[in-house]
Structure 1
Amino acid sequence: MTRYDAVVFDSDGVLVEPPARETQLGAIRSAFRELGVESPPADHVRDLSHDVRPDRLDAIADHHGLDAATLWTARERCDEQSQFEAFRAGSRQRYDDVTAIADLPPNRGVVSNNHHSTVAFKLDFFELEPLFDTFYGREMTVESLTLKKPNTHYLDRAIADLNAENPLYVGDSESDVVAAHRAGADSAFVRRDHTRDAALSVTPTYEVDTLADLPDIVV
């Protein structure tokens, strides 16, 4: 008998390496250039690259005389393309320990704050799709910004798809831990190189150094 009836994973930083910061910033600059803004302020580039809220997007777009939805569409398209290019070039890789997921019982999923299309690309590109029964990323819309973790919107959908009553969510950020607990799931926080010294204000159910530790937790 297994301890958990489903295991759901974050994607970036858990299954595959996270995007390089400069790649993210470069994608935002490309989006601005597409819309005729050659030298956007550094804080506008930074704020659009990570965890931007709709009100901040509105303010940045208004500053440049742009429609917020138009700016966001360009941002999403350039960001998506930059990620595809990084994977194809080999500058972002799948983690070796992802193979341990095959040792877990069936009923597995992926929930990411990244675009749904980018999650689909990664699962296909690294031939990971057979490992999972469902996956969710966010839509490439302004509205999706309010649905990102720690909101449980996409995690709830995955748990429902898996018909799970006692799921485990595996992530590499504080928002992953918060989302898991809000959704009624236990959490496993992965201490990879980029999170080795991360200080959390919430306590995950487990901390692991590698996905190879999960079979001992789940089974």
Structure 2
Amino acid sequence: MTSYDTVLFDSDGVLVDPPSYETKVEAVQSAFEEVGVTRAEKRHVDAIVNGTTVEGLHEICAAYDLDTDLFWEARERHDEQSQFEKFEAGSRSCYDDVTAISGLSQRCGVVSNNHRSTIEFVLDFFDLESAFETYYGREKTVESLDLKKPNTHYLDRALTELGGESALYIGDSESDVIAAHRAGVDSVFVSRPHCRDTDLSVTPTYETDSLHGVAKIANGDGRAYRK
């Protein structure tokens, strides 16, 4: 079995609990209210929560005659602050099996669709900085929406920085698996409780339910996890 020299991790749903749907909705609604929209349509709120594109965001803002950059600045600020508050309150935490990463000898990094500043907060808050040589999250800009996975933009940047001949990307969503394969690296789907029933349209290289399994895969002992 392949032994890998570079291991990249998604953050939400892999290293830490993902933000709840309700928390993300509240952040979007707060942003709308800040810019004067007291009753945003549910379909527009859901579109933003579930991951809109740049084009889609412009269309939503046009429906309320909003300046897109102004609205998005408010949304990103409320979204980031809501995440910080949940971590600080203890309602979001890191997974217990994150300790498995400390035993890895490979060069490791984080690549997330979340804000780069939020990833920085997570690594500092949970004392995970020493486990990773680099981390990438998106900038809090409208343009960054089209750079999210399955776009390989941030994954490619991390791979270029870390180098190595054989890489592995660990995620909890279909977009993670697709991004890994588009970037030419093997993938691990971590079937946490929140995504265990996900019906993937693309097959990951491996599947496991914990980071302990990821550690075995990274070190070439992944036969039992091969898809």
TM-score, reference length from structure 2 = 0.94
Cα distance in structure 2, aligned partners of 1:170 and 1:24: 23
**How far, CA to CA, are the matches of 1:8 and 1:218 in structure 2?**
10
Deviations 1:116-141 (A, max 9, x none): 00010011111111100000000011
Instruction: Give 1:164 shift.
Output: 2.0
State how far apart, in whole Å, the 2-side matches of 1:149 and 1:102 are: 26
1 CA distance for matches of 2:181 and 2:150? 9
How is 1:62-73 mapped onto 2 (pairs within 5 angstroms)? 62-73=62-73
1:106 CA displacement? 3.2
1:98 matched to which residue of 2? 98
Structure 1 residue 215: deviation in Å? 2.4
Q: Is the 8 A contact 2:117 2:137 kept in 1?
A: yes
Following TM superposition, by how much is the alpha carbon of 1:80 offset from its aligned partner in structure 2, in angstroms? 0.5
What displacement does 1:91 show? 0.7
Asked if 1:163 is matched to 2:163, the reply is yes
1:143-158 superposed matches below 5 A:
143-158=143-158
What secondary structure, in the 3-state scheme, does the structure 1 residue paired with 2:199 have? coil
SS at match of 1:75: helix
Q: Give the whole-Å Cα distance in 1 for the aligned partners of 2:147 and 2:165.
A: 22
TM-score norm. by structure 1 comes to 0.97
Which residue does 1:89 correspond to in 2? 89
Letter in 2 for 1:163: G
Return the alpha-carbon distance in structure 2 between the equivalents of residues 207 and 152 of structure 1.
Answer: 21
Aligned residues: 219
Determine the C-alpha separation between the residues in 1 that align with 2:59 and 2:198. Answer: 31
- Secondary structure at the residue paired with 1:13? coil
Deviations 1:88-110 (A, max 9, x none): 11110100000000111130000
Note if 1:204 corresponds to 2:204.
yes
| 1:131 corresponds to | 131
Where structure 1 has 5 or more consecutive residues not aligned to the other structure, the ranges are none
Cα distance between partner residues in 2 of 1:38 and 1:147: 30
The aligned residue for residue 114 of structure 1 is 114
Match for residue 225 of structure 2?
none
Which residue number in structure 2 is paired with residue 216 of structure 1?
216
CA distance in 2, matches of 1:56, 1:148: 14
Question: Could you list the runs of 4 or more consecutive aligned residues of structure 1 that deviate by over 2 angstroms after TM superposition?
Answer: none
**Which whole-Å CA distance do the structure 2 matches of 1:139 and 1:183 have between them?**
20
1:18-50 residue CA offsets vs partner (Å, 9 max, x unmatched): 001000000001001111111111111111112
Give the Å deviation of 1:11.
Answer: 0.2
Contact 2:4/2:106 (<8 A) preserved: no
Q: Secondary structure at the match of 2:51?
A: coil
Q: Give me the whole-angstrom Cα distance separating, in 2, the residues matched to 1:155 and 1:165.
A: 15
- Partner residue, 1:187: 187
Partner of 2:77: 77
Aligned partner of 1:142 in structure 2 is 142
* Aligned residue type for 2:30: S
Query: In structure 2, what residue type is equivalent to 1:93?
Result: S
